[in-house]
Amino acid sequence: MKILVTGFDPFGGESVNPAWEAVSRLPGEINGAEVIRMQIPTSFARAPQMVLEKVREYCPDYVVSVGQAAGRTAITPERIAINMMSASIPDNDGEQPVEQKIEGNGPDGYFSLLPVLEMVKAIEAAGLPGRISNTAGTFVCNRVMYSVLHGCHTRFPGMRSGFIHVPCIPEQTVKHPEWFSLPVEEITRGLEAALSVL
């Protein structure tokens, strides 16, 4: 079995992104499954295209994308992605869509194809905060989640995908002391626990 795990590069003036910092530290194998790690740009246009190109190359059984959610106090598998892009800040390409559909004829939303409740239980069993989230936002994270799920339903039958948001790491709280944070090693451990369910 193959699991493609993606994490974003830094954005919004930050020098690090806890998503990629944690994903890059994942082992190459979890419970016998090969783990393929991939950094993707915080770009509405480029990120989903790159993930789907990697899907065509590796034919993974699962795609799990990971993103930063400043202010989150837990590792949060997402339940649903919506067919909407609306950004309060530009992405790393300077694009800032407002109230734009991702897929003109696509459904309003796609539910995650990951076992989100079981993943949360595994995160909590590892001694870390876990919670299901019911909103992936309308920034690039939601764009990637929706586009890859759209691919599952239209081009890659049998593949399963979803998204996990993670809190910030302590390095980021120097500029933002109000943000909750977890050490990157703990986020990595939480992701590994969630992936072990697959």
The pLDDT, as a whole number, for residue 76 is 98
Q: How does residue 43 score in pLDDT terms, banded at 50, 70 and 90? A: very high
| β-pairing verdict for 109-111 and 33-40 | unpaired
Mean pLDDT for all residues in the chain? 97
Neighbours of 138 (CB within 10 A): 21
> What tokens does 64 get?
């799990």
Structural domain range at position 54: 2-196
pLDDT of residue 175: 84
Q: Is the distance from CB of 112 to CB of 79 less than 8 angstroms?
A: yes
* Averaged pLDDT for residues 146-152: 98
Contacts with 93 (C-beta within 8 Å, 6 or more apart), sequence order: 41, 43, 44, 45, 46
**Mean predicted confidence (pLDDT) in 63-84:** 97
CB contact at 8 A, 24 and 55: no
Does the active-site annotation cover 171? no
What's residue 126's pLDDT?
98
Number of structural domains found in the chain: 1
Q: Tell me which residue of 98, 90, 147, 124 sits closest to 197, measured CA to CA.
A: 124
Which pLDDT does position 120 carry in this prediction? Answer: 98
21, 78, 186, 192: the catalytic one is 78
Work out the average pLDDT over 167-193: 94
Q: Please, which pLDDT band fits residue 194 given cuts at 50, 70 and 90?
A: very high
Each residue of 91-135: pLDDT tens digit? Answer: 999 999 999 999 999 999 999 999 999 999 999 999 999 999 999
- Residue 140 tokens read as 């690039």
24 closest CA partner among 136, 184, 197: 184
Write down the pLDDT at residue 182.
Answer: 97
Catalytic residue among 21, 141, 150, 152: 141
Check pLDDT > 90 for residue 174.
Answer: no
3-state DSSP call for residue 164? strand
What is the average pLDDT across 61-71? 97
Buried b (16+ CB within 10 A) or exposed e, 32-47: ebebbbbebbbbbebb
Per residue in 55-65, pLDDT (tens digit) is 999 999 999 99
Closest CA to 146 of 87, 96, 97, 102: 102
Q: Which of 21, 150, 152, 165 is catalytic?
A: 165
Residue 131 in contact with residue 84, Cβ under 8 Å?
no
The CATH number assigned to the domain holding 34 equals: 3.40.630.20
Catalytic residue status for 141: yes
Overall average pLDDT of the 71-95 stretch: 97
